[in-house]
Chain A
Amino acid sequence: MDKFETLTGVAAPMPLVNIDTDMIIPKQFLKTIKRSGLGVNLFDEMRFDRQGNEIADFVLNKPAYRNAEILVAGENFGCGSSREHAPWALLDFGIRCVISTSFADIFYNNCFKNGILPVVLDQAQVDVLMKEAEKGENARITVDLEAQEISTSEGEVFSFQVDAFKKKCLLEGLDDIGLTMEKGASIDAFEATAAQARPWV
Chain B
Amino acid sequence: MSPKTLYDKIWDAHVAHEADDGTCLLYIDRHLVHEVTSPQAFEGLRMTGRKVRKPELTIAVPDHNVPTTPGREDPKNMTEDSAIQVAALDKNAKDFGIHYYPVSDIRQGIVHIVGPEQGWTLPGMTVVCGDSHTATHGAFGALAHGIGTSEVEHVLATQTLIQKKSKNMKVEITGKLRPGVTAKDITLSVIGKTGTAGGTGYVIEYCGEAIRDLSMEGRMTVCNMAIEGGARAGLIAPDEKTFDYVKGRPHAPKGAQFEAALAWWKTLYSDDDAHWDKVITIKGEDIAPVVTWGTSPEDVLPITATVPAAADFEGGKVGAAQRSLDYMGLTPGMPLSDIEIDTVFIGSCTNGRIEDLRAAAEVLKGKKVKVKRAMVVPGSGLVRAQAEEEGLADIFKEAGFEWRLAGCSMCLAMNPDQLSEGERCASTSNRNFEGRQGYKGRTHLMSPAMAAAAAVTGKLTDVREMM
A181 proximity list for chain B (CB < 8 A): 50, 157-158
Nearest CB of chain B from residue A110's CB, rounded to whole Å: 4
Q: Is there contact, CB below 8 Å, between A31 and B433?
A: no
Q: Which residue of B lies closest to A18 (CB)?
A: B296
Docked Cα-Cα span, A173 to B294, in Å, equals: 40
B153 proximity list for chain A (CB < 8 A): 177
- Which residues 80-134 in B have Cβ within 8 Å of A in the complex? 81-82, 84-85, 88, 122, 124-125, 130-132
B396 within 8 A of A: no
Docked Cα-Cα span, A31 to B81, in Å, equals: 6
Nearest CB of chain B from residue A106's CB, rounded to whole Å: 5
Q: Kindly state the interface size class of chain A when it binds its partner.
A: 35 or more
Nearest CB of chain B from residue A80's CB, rounded to whole Å: 6
Q: Is there contact, CB below 8 Å, between B40 and A165?
A: no
Q: Which residue of A lies closest to B27 (CB)?
A: A190
Q: Is there contact, CB below 8 Å, between A105 and B232?
A: yes
Docked Cα-Cα span, A76 to B88, in Å, equals: 33
Q: Is there contact, CB below 8 Å, between A187 and B25?
A: yes
Q: Is there contact, CB below 8 Å, between B323 and A28?
A: no
A114 proximity list for chain B (CB < 8 A): 150
Q: Is there contact, CB below 8 Å, between A30 and B154?
A: no
- Which residues 129-157 in B have Cβ within 8 Å of A in the complex? 130-132, 145-151, 153-154, 157
Docked Cα-Cα span, A69 to B150, in Å, equals: 22
In the complex, how many residues of chain B place their beta carbon closer than 8 angstroms to a beta carbon of chain A? 78
B320 within 8 A of A: yes
- Which residues 166-201 in A have Cβ within 8 Å of B in the complex? 176-177, 180-181, 183-184, 186-187, 189-191, 194, 197-201
Which of A35, A80, A164, A189 makes the CB contact (< 8 A) with B132? A80
Q: Is there contact, CB below 8 Å, between A164 and B21?
A: yes
B173 within 8 A of A: no
Q: Is there contact, CB below 8 Å, between A186 and B39?
A: no
Q: Is there contact, CB below 8 Å, between A186 and B439?
A: no
B258 proximity list for chain A (CB < 8 A): 200
The verdict on A27 contacting B414 (CB below 8 Å), with A79-B196, A113-B148 known, is yes
Contact string against A for B residues 341-357, beta-carbon threshold 8 Å, 1 for contact and 0 otherwise:
00000000000000000
Task: Name which of B159-167, B174-182, B276-284, B359-367 contacts chain A.
Answer: B159-167
Q: Is there contact, CB below 8 Å, between A186 and B16?
A: yes
Q: Is there contact, CB below 8 Å, between A16 and B316?
A: yes
Q: Is there contact, CB below 8 Å, between A22 and B200?
A: no
Docked Cα-Cα span, A27 to B414, in Å, equals: 6
Q: Which residue of A lies closest to B50 (CB)?
A: A177
Nearest CB of chain B from residue A22's CB, rounded to whole Å: 4
The verdict on A200 contacting B257 (CB below 8 Å), with A80-B132, A114-B150 known, is yes
Q: Is there contact, CB below 8 Å, between B158 and A201?
A: no
Nearest CB of chain A from residue B441's CB, rounded to whole Å: 11
Docked Cα-Cα span, A184 to B145, in Å, equals: 23
Docked Cα-Cα span, A74 to B321, in Å, equals: 13
Q: Is there contact, CB below 8 Å, between A199 and B260?
A: yes
A149 proximity list for chain B (CB < 8 A): none
Docked Cα-Cα span, A99 to B85, in Å, equals: 33
B434 proximity list for chain A (CB < 8 A): 22-23, 45
Q: Which residue of B lies closest to A109 (CB)?
A: B148
Docked Cα-Cα span, A191 to B27, in Å, equals: 9
Contact string against A for B residues 192-225, beta-carbon threshold 8 Å, 1 for contact and 0 otherwise:
0000110011000000000000000000000000
Contact string against A for B residues 410-450, beta-carbon threshold 8 Å, 1 for contact and 0 otherwise:
00111000000000000000010111100100000000000
B200 proximity list for chain A (CB < 8 A): 76, 102-105
Q: Which residue of A lies closest to B153 (CB)?
A: A177
B317 within 8 A of A: yes
Q: Which residue of B lies closest to A86 (CB)?
A: B148
A20 within 8 A of B: yes
- Which residues 10-59 in A have Cβ within 8 Å of B in the complex? 15-18, 20, 22-23, 26-28, 30-35, 45, 50
B8 within 8 A of A: no
Q: Is there contact, CB below 8 Å, between A34 and B40?
A: yes
Docked Cα-Cα span, A78 to B130, in Å, equals: 15
A45 proximity list for chain B (CB < 8 A): 434-435, 439
Which of B122, B154, B201, B435 makes the CB contact (< 8 A) with A176? B154
User: Residues on B close to A: CB < 8 A?
Assistant: 13, 16-17, 19, 21, 23, 25, 27, 29, 36-37, 39-40, 43, 48, 50, 53, 57, 64-65, 79, 81-82, 84-85, 88, 122, 124-125, 130-132, 145-151, 153-154, 157-160, 162, 164, 196-197, 200-201, 227, 230-232, 253, 257-258, 260-261, 264, 296, 298, 315-317, 319-320, 323, 412-414, 431, 433-436, 439
Beyond A22-B435, A28-B414: 10 further Cβ-contacts under 8 Å? A15-B319, A26-B435, A30-B414, A33-B85, A34-B40, A113-B148, A183-B16, A190-B27, A198-B13, A199-B260
* 10 residue pairs, one from A and one from B, having the closest CB atoms: A200-B253, A113-B150, A190-B16, A31-B81, A110-B148, A33-B39, A84-B148, A17-B316, A82-B146, A186-B17
Give 20 A-B contacts (CB < 8 Å), ordered by A residue.
A20-B433, A27-B414, A31-B85, A76-B196, A79-B197, A81-B431, A82-B131, A82-B132, A82-B146, A84-B130, A104-B197, A105-B232, A109-B147, A163-B23, A165-B23, A177-B154, A177-B157, A187-B160, A200-B122, A200-B257
